[in-house]
Chains A and B, each alone.
Chain A
Amino acid sequence: MAARDEERLALAEQVRQSLAIENALTRPQARAYVRCLQSTWQVPTIAWAEHESAGQLNDARRLLHAAHIFSVIEGAESPRAIDCYRRTGEILEWLSRAEDGTRHIVPIELLAAGAYQLGGLPAMAAGLLDQVESEHDGVRLYASFLRADLDDAVRRAGRFWRRHPDLTSTDADSAILAAMRGGDEAPGVMWAVTVELVRCVGLIADSIRRGDDVRLARALEKLHALDELAHRMFSHDAALVISLMRQVADRYASASIFNPMRRLAALRPERSGRLLRYARDQFSRGRGILWTSQLHGIERLLHTSSFALCTPTGSGKTLVANLALIKELLLRDHDDGLGPLALYIVPSRALAGEVEAKLSSELRGDVIVTGLYGGADWGITDVWLTSEEPVVLIVTVEKADALLRYLGSILLTRLTLLIIDEAHQVVPEANEATAVSFSDHSNRSLRLENLVSRILARRPDVTRIALTAVAGGASGPVARWIEGDPDADAVGVRYRSTRQVIGVLETSPGTSGQILLDLMNGKPLYLKGQENPVYLPLRYEAMPQLPSQWRNSLNRFNSLTVLWTALHLAREDQRILISVAQEPEQTMRWFKEALELDAWDAIVDFEPPGARLGERFEEACAACRDYCGPDSFELFLLERGIATSHGQMPQRLRRLMVEMIDKKICPITVATATLTEGVNLPFDLIFLTSLKRRSWDPVEEEPVVIPYTTAEFRNLAGRAGRPGASRGIEGMTLVALPLRPSTTANGPRPTQQRQLREWADEYDKLRQQLLAEEQELGGAESPLALLLNRIWEKARDVLGITPDAFMDWLEKTAPGDVSADAGAGATGARARIADAMDELDSVLLTAIAESEEGSAAPMDRARAEAEMRELWARTFTAVAREQEDWLESAFIRRGAGIVEHLYPDADERLRLYHYGFTPVIGRRFEAVAEKIRALLADATEYGDLSAKDRIDIFEAIGNLLEGDKGFGFRVRATIGDQAILDQWNDVLGWWMAEPGARAPEADDLRVWQRFVADNLEYRLGVAVGAVVAKAWSDGAPDATTTPMLGEWKQTAGLPWFGFWARELLRWGTHDPFVAFCLSQGLAQTREAAAQRRPAFETWLDDEIDDVVAEDRIDPQHFQQWQTSLARHEPDAPEQESIDARLTGTDGRNRRYAVVAVRDGDDTRWLDPAGFELAVSKAQTPSGSRLFRSDFELRTAGNRAGVVRVFRPA
């Protein structure tokens, strides 16, 4: 360290401590931010004096200087420098957005963007620069560069050269020197420096995206020289901008995706061409410059294999996953035969769709990407099973579990890479709801833990990567679990990629309401009791008085005020999510009824989009009409630009709704929390209309109130203001709270008064918890520990088991011994204990059966204990935190008990394992399974049956399930739900599109949908799936048999109906052809799919002589028919070569990177640094936005031509 550097660092540290602690604002900074928000919202701002602006600007300069000291002494990656850069960016951003006068004195937006880039917050740089549009070409060019929009920088530089053709000649090379030699009237040195700067920016932007390191190095060298010159000759601010651009350029160069791709290519040089194309493609998607967290992840990826990556949402986890896929699937040597396979586990079906779309678009051609979240376990999508190509399977935990049960051997043999997205979901909440979910067999954390532990136990060598957005408590344990190393730590960085503001929308009858700003990134924006609360008063006209019946419900008033506000905000181009805690159909009805009033209709400012987006919108409307009906709330709202989504919505419609949001077609969304689980959607603002869910406990006969957990709230709030997605820089999450009763009648007033107090208390409590949790970073809860603890505590409290007796009791006691209601979804205390034990047994029995299936050796106590010990060591629970020893002992004892006392018959264990139910339920199911199988086997004429007869078969199967509360139909204990259960065949008829079937009223739609989702799709589907899978397994010669359509019927011993039954339940159709068309995207609605059937029948008649019933639903015929439709696309786009005449080069380098600049009918081919190299007369390349493509001028002798070497997807 140089002399006095320690003292310099100490000075810089003083400034950092006083101004730049992450997420902690000084009071003046908080004031500046509040003023910024108020200005953005165009409401009166807090009092603010000019000297305060000067003070902030001065602070920003001091921080920049401190950052400079840190980075000179500690290096560019100095975390302390990064702190200072970030706060600099923030301070300047807040001045800029407050339209502060300093904007006209100092280029604060450019400085802010540069500081954000160097602070590792590129999305903030882009977010700010998106909001300001300068009239000056130079400012625009530098802004494009500083927001890493390299395509736009190339475009803007090109415009400059088009306007200044005199500067593009070869002898313009040394413009600075020419200017110096010129007379007094020459433009002068500064103009020349400016020209050279444009050359640098253009060349750097183009070289980085092409991965041309040689030219990049020279351009950077020149930019460094200009930077040093600027410090001597320019005003301080101009020099600062150039200096920041130089540092940002250095950062781009070192953070280019080409660097890791080249290192990856070293593993397999013959693939380097493909890898470099991938890198170039990432640039065209705006992802070529890697984020800090990505760099960390990729560094690990290059050096080791398994790791956990912890990085904020929106900072590009998927890219790290992609590179892992490339490395493990494409670059490693694999044995001949079937291609390697990666399992990509996602928490929800919605997320599976998103991941599938992303991966397919980027890896197409190299890898088969298959999402198994919605389709059959195998069947239409079976190509992956037999492919020699590498395969990525995107699956939910449930689907992965089902695959393991039936295709475990095939899957695990090929498995090369395991990616677990949103891996923090393995951490459960330690609360009553979690405890109950064990007994309900619905706990997702346990499922995830169990699945991954089993895979790791059987394939400890497989490479695995955990992706998680949540830092803090969970990341360490998740890393230890994934790496299998007690000292492992998560890779990544802990910071928020966006700014999150939490506050209150205060609603009050007769007023427009106001927004109370409370927390910013977890810290209070004003000091309670010392400072005035910070408000954004809304300026829209107040909501008209509601009809008396409406306003007698405070909830309805509150929800409608939110809609009223949202409709106004949508007019300002804000994207809004109205998050509903429960019963979305009620909110939807309220909204529909309000929008039927004239005053409301008048403020709906929604025009359906045109062109391609219009087609997508039409498709969504059609699907909505199809699945929800023409009079549904969903369709009514969608036609007014309001998307809806909830967990019971049919999958296809849900995906279309997500698309409406994602493509920004619908500015407003009404949804329950299922919408946002892990899915990236662009919202600026989220409103919550309630902070709790209520239900009714029929046993205790009392309401159950479950408040939002902070984790739920955080997850939701994390969806607001996603980087690069939304218009605003910050995401706001606002809880709507009424200030006064909405009723004007005396009767409801006391109730409303009480509600006001309750709701305010709930918010205060949440706020306190959020603040408290900002400080906490403890260990993590774990599913098995919670389950075992629950069993122990209830055994002690309810059954009176003593500590000494517990282990023995646990080993020998069957759930049925604890409660006769075991496995029936009963809610009594003893039944809950029995069901929790059954859940534990499911975990243990699954592991034991899998082990038995893979080895002929007999399972005895000793082996069971050894294997349970091994499995325990692979669980998340074992690494989550210091565990008490008894947990492991209890786990092992119960495992031994399964083998010795509870399920001693190995054949039965295997059958129960294959069914997939918990063992108690599975035993009961066994009796029904044979009957279901018989029904399936009899359906040989299904292809020729009428709709009614077809649906009768489903009904017959359903009748077998109806009575059982374990595997059978289950509804909530409400009168409405019970009524549905009594008429479930009506629901079945409606869902399966039986002609003339009764449809639900709009009000009942969601109850029907819930029944479909819970019971027809899920329970009936699972039962049928279990029977069919078992039939196939029984017929398969051994565990490694690969299912193939050709042999499917013979192996399973079932007609094609067995193959289709579950698919039909999923798509809501009795016709396999319709399910096929929908799954393959050959039709948008069920009706449209059905309309294609005649064409298929004609084709079938031509192809086959004697068409029998089975031919009409044979998936192989469907596929052949589909193939006959396919048009043949040319394999590769023709490579256009455009003749060119050399004008500014002798062609000595043979290949030159060029950009196209149109000049009338001609095209001038310019080097990215602005030198004209060649001209094509009366020829232009096809397409618009040519600046996004890469062109190359190629010379051979005296011939020259230009070829497009990259075209964005």
Chain B
Amino acid sequence: MHDCPPPKAALASWLKAYGTVEGGNYGHLLLEQQAESDDTLLSALRPYFESAHLDAREHFHRKIGISLHPDSAATTTVNYPSCLPTKALRGLFGEAMAGLVTEAYQDEFVGGHVWQVPIFLFREHDDVEKYLWALRYDPERVREIYGRHGTDFVAISLNNDREVVRVIAGEAKWRKSLTESTVAALLLGPKVRNEETGVLAHTGKGIWYELNRDTAIPHGLRQLQFVLEQRDREGHADIILSIDRAVLNLGPPPERTDLVIICGNGAAKRERADPLIAWEQPPSEYRAGRDLQIVEVILERGDVLIDALYASLWSTP
């Protein structure tokens, strides 16, 4: 279970926060790196990241190595998540950062709710489309087989009875260089050439599209409940029951806040305090009509930080 509090002090000195809430339902938080990513920072982040990855690590270590070879009785040892390729680590970093930011900066977030992430789901659904249904390793595959992904990230807000009253869900993305076109592709979908007109245009199937069509109760909530049930049904009985109520659509549904968090290195031309997404009002492409929180995490040499951070997990006594 994830139970490590966010290292707020270290974050405060590492990142400069520009937070705004407009119209009562649109929050924008720009976090701009203002200090070196040094060993002190790593030491401060490490416990949080270890905590975030603990559930998945335990799971991998216990079960995934089971061999089905008829001669083999052993289970191969794994060192999760350090063993993952660097690309995968960046994805994980984005999702862990979503939790970290949500827990650490809740005062700056729209609505000022108290968020907690009982367990991190590190989801990789894009690839599922390519492999699981088609049984082919085809990196070029574009057409979707089943086109619904759900959101990357889920956190919850509880009332005094430990019932889920609000959910924050959305997308957490890492990009090495946060240029305007990269961000546009994330938000609006990649650009493809129109076969008739020859014009390059966004597909429209980016983050906004996914958020607009997502259900009021994110499916991730159900998966979160599943893991809680497996891990500690008794300890989370109240949360589990309130998620039942939400999923079964019985009783008042929990409110939902949408979250979009974009992490990466600032583009070369970027000015200080420049937001990638306008903070004054929610983007017109966003039409879900819920509370929306945007977070931009602008780092310098973030990929070096990621490699160092993941190399350090469970490696220091």
Smallest CB separation, A1167 vs chain B (Å): 5
Within 8 A of A (CB), among B234-251: 234, 237-238, 240-241, 244-245, 247-250
Q: Are A232 and B227 closer than 8 Å at their CB atoms?
A: yes
Q: Are B234 and A12 closer than 8 Å at their CB atoms?
A: no
CA–CA, A137 to B69, complex, Å? 23
Query: With a CB–CB cut-off of 8 A, which chain A residues contact B71?
Result: 1145-1146, 1148-1149
CA–CA, A215 to B67, complex, Å? 11
Among B70, B136, B220, B245, the residue within 8 A (CB) of A1152 is: B70
Decide if B147 is an interface residue (CB 8 Å cutoff). Answer: yes
Given contacts A138-B135, A180-B83, whether A189 and B88 have CB atoms under 8 Å apart is yes
Q: Are B136 and A8 closer than 8 Å at their CB atoms?
A: no
Decide if B78 is an interface residue (CB 8 Å cutoff). Answer: yes
Q: Are A136 and B84 closer than 8 Å at their CB atoms?
A: no
Among A182, A218, A231, A1173, the residue within 8 A (CB) of B68 is: A218
Given contacts A173-B67, A198-B135, whether A105 and B146 have CB atoms under 8 Å apart is yes
Decide if A469 is an interface residue (CB 8 Å cutoff). Answer: no
Smallest CB separation, B176 vs chain A (Å): 12
Decide if B13 is an interface residue (CB 8 Å cutoff). Answer: no
Query: With a CB–CB cut-off of 8 A, which chain A residues contact B227?
Result: 228, 231-232
Q: Are B247 and A65 closer than 8 Å at their CB atoms?
A: yes
Decide if B287 is an interface residue (CB 8 Å cutoff). Answer: no
Query: With a CB–CB cut-off of 8 A, which chain B residues contact A183?
Result: 85-86
Smallest CB separation, B86 vs chain A (Å): 6
Query: With a CB–CB cut-off of 8 A, which chain B residues contact A2?
Result: 233-234, 237
Provide the A717-757 mask, 1 if CB < 8 A to any CB of B, else 0.
Answer: 00000000000000000000000000000000000000000
CA–CA, A588 to B234, complex, Å? 71
Decide if B101 is an interface residue (CB 8 Å cutoff). Answer: no
Within 8 A of A (CB), among B114-144: 121-125, 127-128, 130-137, 139
Q: Are A239 and B223 closer than 8 Å at their CB atoms?
A: yes
Q: Are A174 and B76 closer than 8 Å at their CB atoms?
A: yes
Decide if B226 is an interface residue (CB 8 Å cutoff). Answer: yes
Query: With a CB–CB cut-off of 8 A, which chain A residues contact B80?
Result: 180
Smallest CB separation, A1174 vs chain B (Å): 12
Smallest CB separation, B220 vs chain A (Å): 7
Most chain B beta-carbon contacts within 10 A, residue among A7, A66, A72, A194 = A194
Smallest CB separation, B82 vs chain A (Å): 9
Query: With a CB–CB cut-off of 8 A, which chain A residues contact B130?
Result: 190-191
Decide if B158 is an interface residue (CB 8 Å cutoff). Answer: no
Provide the B2-22 mask, 1 if CB < 8 A to any CB of A, else 0.
Answer: 000000000000000000000
Q: Give A222's nearest chain B residue, CB to CB.
A: B66
Given contacts A139-B133, A180-B85, A238-B128, whether A232 and B59 have CB atoms under 8 Å apart is yes
Q: Give A9's nearest chain B residue, CB to CB.
A: B244
Query: With a CB–CB cut-off of 8 A, which chain B residues contact A197?
Result: 132
Decide if B193 is an interface residue (CB 8 Å cutoff). Answer: no
Smallest CB separation, B74 vs chain A (Å): 10
Q: Are A138 and B248 closer than 8 Å at their CB atoms?
A: no
Decide if B87 is an interface residue (CB 8 Å cutoff). Answer: yes
Q: Are A72 and B248 closer than 8 Å at their CB atoms?
A: no
Q: Give A103's nearest chain B residue, CB to CB.
A: B146
CA–CA, A232 to B137, complex, Å? 22
Query: With a CB–CB cut-off of 8 A, which chain B residues contact A139?
Result: 133, 145
Decide if B222 is an interface residue (CB 8 Å cutoff). Answer: yes
Q: Are B135 and A3 closer than 8 Å at their CB atoms?
A: no
Q: Are A170 and B76 closer than 8 Å at their CB atoms?
A: no
Given contacts A72-B229, A170-B69, A1149-B70, whether A238 and B132 have CB atoms under 8 Å apart is yes
Decide if B270 is an interface residue (CB 8 Å cutoff). Answer: no
Within 8 A of B (CB), among A145-193: 160, 170, 173-174, 176-177, 180-184, 186-191, 193
Decide if A820 is an interface residue (CB 8 Å cutoff). Answer: no
Among A65, A184, A1152, A1173, the residue within 8 A (CB) of B86 is: A184
Smallest CB separation, B118 vs chain A (Å): 13
Smallest CB separation, A935 vs chain B (Å): 75
CA–CA, A342 to B100, complex, Å? 74
CA–CA, A170 to B149, complex, Å? 34
Among A12, A174, A186, the residue within 8 A (CB) of B65 is: A174
Q: Are A187 and B137 closer than 8 Å at their CB atoms?
A: yes
CA–CA, A11 to B249, complex, Å? 10
Decide if B56 is an interface residue (CB 8 Å cutoff). Answer: yes
Among B65, B122, B147, B215, the residue within 8 A (CB) of A233 is: B122
CA–CA, A1130 to B247, complex, Å? 64
Most chain A beta-carbon contacts within 10 A, residue among B55, B130, B223 = B223
Decide if A822 is an interface residue (CB 8 Å cutoff). Answer: no
CA–CA, A104 to B147, complex, Å? 7
Query: With a CB–CB cut-off of 8 A, which chain B residues contact A14?
Result: 248, 250
Query: With a CB–CB cut-off of 8 A, which chain A residues contact B122?
Result: 232-233
Q: Are B68 and A199 closer than 8 Å at their CB atoms?
A: yes
Query: With a CB–CB cut-off of 8 A, which chain B residues contact A714?
Result: none
Decide if A1169 is an interface residue (CB 8 Å cutoff). Answer: yes
Given contacts A7-B241, A170-B69, whether A236 and B147 have CB atoms under 8 Å apart is no
Given contacts A62-B247, A1145-B71, whether A4 and B241 have CB atoms under 8 Å apart is yes
Provide the A82-111 mask, 1 if CB < 8 A to any CB of B, else 0.
Answer: 000000000000000000000011110000
CA–CA, A203 to B249, complex, Å? 39
Query: With a CB–CB cut-off of 8 A, which chain B residues contact A4?
Result: 237-238, 240-241
Query: With a CB–CB cut-off of 8 A, which chain A residues contact B59?
Result: 225, 228-229, 232
Given contacts A173-B76, A1167-B69, whether A235 and B148 have CB atoms under 8 Å apart is yes
Decide if B63 is an interface residue (CB 8 Å cutoff). Answer: yes
Smallest CB separation, A177 vs chain B (Å): 6
Q: Are A189 and B84 closer than 8 Å at their CB atoms?
A: yes
Query: With a CB–CB cut-off of 8 A, which chain B residues contact A199?
Result: 68
Query: With a CB–CB cut-off of 8 A, which chain B residues contact A198?
Result: 135
Query: With a CB–CB cut-off of 8 A, which chain A residues contact B234?
Result: 2-3
Query: With a CB–CB cut-off of 8 A, which chain B residues contact A474?
Result: none
Provide the A603-614 mask, 1 if CB < 8 A to any CB of B, else 0.
Answer: 000000000000
Query: With a CB–CB cut-off of 8 A, which chain A residues contact B127?
Result: 188-191
CA–CA, A72 to B133, complex, Å? 28
Decide if A1171 is an interface residue (CB 8 Å cutoff). Answer: yes
Q: Are A219 and B68 closer than 8 Å at their CB atoms?
A: yes
Q: Give B146's nearest chain A residue, CB to CB.
A: A107
CA–CA, A106 to B149, complex, Å? 10
Q: Are A11 and B245 closer than 8 Å at their CB atoms?
A: yes
Q: Are A228 and B63 closer than 8 Å at their CB atoms?
A: yes
Q: Give B245's nearest chain A residue, CB to CB.
A: A11
Query: With a CB–CB cut-off of 8 A, which chain A residues contact B240?
Result: 4, 8
Among B70, B76, B230, B250, the residue within 8 A (CB) of A228 is: B230
Q: Are A236 and B244 closer than 8 Å at their CB atoms?
A: no
Query: With a CB–CB cut-off of 8 A, which chain A residues contact B83?
Result: 177, 180-181
Q: Are A184 and B87 closer than 8 Å at their CB atoms?
A: yes
CA–CA, A822 to B96, complex, Å? 96
B residues with a Cβ closer than 8 A to A are 55-56, 59-60, 62-72, 76, 78, 80, 83-88, 121-125, 127-128, 130-137, 139, 145-150, 215, 219-220, 222-223, 226-227, 229-230, 233-234, 237-238, 240-241, 244-245, 247-250
Known pairs A190-B128, A197-B132, A198-B135 / 13 extra A-B pairs, C-beta < 8 Å: A4-B238, A8-B241, A11-B244, A180-B85, A180-B88, A194-B131, A194-B132, A219-B68, A225-B59, A225-B66, A234-B125, A236-B219, A1169-B68
25 example contacts (A-B, Cβ-Cβ < 8 A) are as follows: A3-B237, A4-B237, A11-B245, A62-B247, A66-B248, A105-B146, A107-B133, A107-B146, A139-B133, A173-B68, A187-B139, A188-B88, A189-B84, A190-B128, A190-B131, A193-B131, A194-B131, A198-B135, A203-B68, A228-B59, A233-B125, A234-B132, A237-B146, A1145-B70, A1167-B69
The 6 residue pairs across chains A and B that have the minimum distance between CB atoms: A225-B63, A236-B219, A190-B127, A235-B125, A1169-B68, A3-B237
A residues with a Cβ closer than 8 A to B are 2-5, 7-8, 11-12, 14-15, 58, 61-62, 65-66, 69, 72, 104-107, 136-139, 141, 160, 170, 173-174, 176-177, 180-184, 186-191, 193-194, 196-200, 203, 215, 218-219, 221-222, 224-225, 228-229, 231-239, 1145-1146, 1148-1149, 1152-1153, 1167, 1169-1171, 1173
